[in-house]
Amino acid sequence: MRREKGLLVLIFIVGLLGAVFSGCAGKSVPALEKVTVLLDWTPNTNYSGMYAAAAEGYYAAEGLAVEIIQAPGNVVQLVAAGKAHFGVSYQEEVTFARLEAIPVVSIAAVLQHNTSGFASLKEKGIATPKDFEGKRYGGWGSPVEEATIRALMDRVGADFNKVSIVTTGEVDSLIVIEREADFAWIYYGWTGVEAELRGLELNFIALNAIEPALDYYTPVLITGEHLIGANPDLVRRFMRATARGYRLAMERPAEAAEALLAAAPELDRNLVMTSQEWLKDKYQAGAAAWGLQQREVWENYAHWLFEHGLIDKLPDVDQAFTNKFLP
């Protein structure tokens, strides 16, 4: 009798489990919403928070399947046209875009301060903007570059006309200063760290140290006004997961570096690890939360552009950025 009772219990359990599993099989798991993020450059530690968010499942937890790719063209134009949901840009580019009525919005500052500046081999003796005289600058060919160099030289009474401008395009900046020009504009967190690892001694003139208005946000994350209007919840979910990724990059930099290396194994491991350690305190750098942007920073840079003749009117900075999607 006990044996038959046990058999009945077993049959009941098996039947119950079968009903549960068949019920589960009948319900489709919601598909993750596909999202594309365009990078403005090759993969590096400025982007590691997003790679970490993907690797740790933060995007999936928000119902998103995020693809991070290098842009096949201009990031701002592609995002504005709805060809991608999000992109990486910089405050200069967004400012000019808004003046041309291109509907993109900066939704987070990746770094709180501008870590870029002019670098040269120490042996060239370029320690201040005064030393730019008689030297060759290698750059991308942007009018902002020339205006920035001119403004810094004007401050110290130097003659911009004595600088030779060499357009090198998208070439490794260290190659530029070693072979093609005397100084170049670099981001220290990547190229400066690489120079240190290679044993190259550089002179580095940090922009934010000599001109407060040039302490602008670079890089920034952008999206289009159309997406903000049509699907603000998607923007909010993306930013919630992205902020978690950058918190990981700040608190556990080695893990964020591993996420970047897994996505871009061609990168130099030592450079990624060292750069990530250098940047971990720069992402938030005193702000109340990662990603926050201040109106004053946007205004100061716009006024600087206007004063130096790069723009003929001031943009509405309230259209250029927002903090409302930050968690």
Neighbour-count burial of 171, counting CB atoms closer than 10 A to its CB (0-12 exposed, 13-18 middle, 19+ buried): middle
**pLDDT at residue number 28:** 57
The pTM of this model reads 0.89
Identify the architecture of domain 116-214 in CATH. 3-Layer(aba) Sandwich (3.40)
Domain ranges in the chain?
A: 33-113+217-320, 116-214
Query: Mind listing the pLDDT tens digit for each residue in 81-101?
Result: 999 999 999 999 999 999 999
Q: Report pLDDT digits (tens) over 287-296.
A: 999 999 999 9
HSE toward the beta carbon, residue 61, CA cutoff 13 A: 12
> pLDDT tens-digit profile of 104-128?
999 999 999 999 999 999 999 999 9
- The mean pLDDT value for 49-54 works out to 98
Residue pLDDT, tens place only, 1-48:
433 334 333 333 334 334 433 444 445 557 999 999 999 999 999 999
33-113+217-320 has CATH 3.40.190.10 classification: yes
Distance CA 292, CA 108 (A): 6
Whole-number mean pLDDT of the chain?
Answer: 91
**Percent of the chain with pLDDT strictly greater than 90:** 86
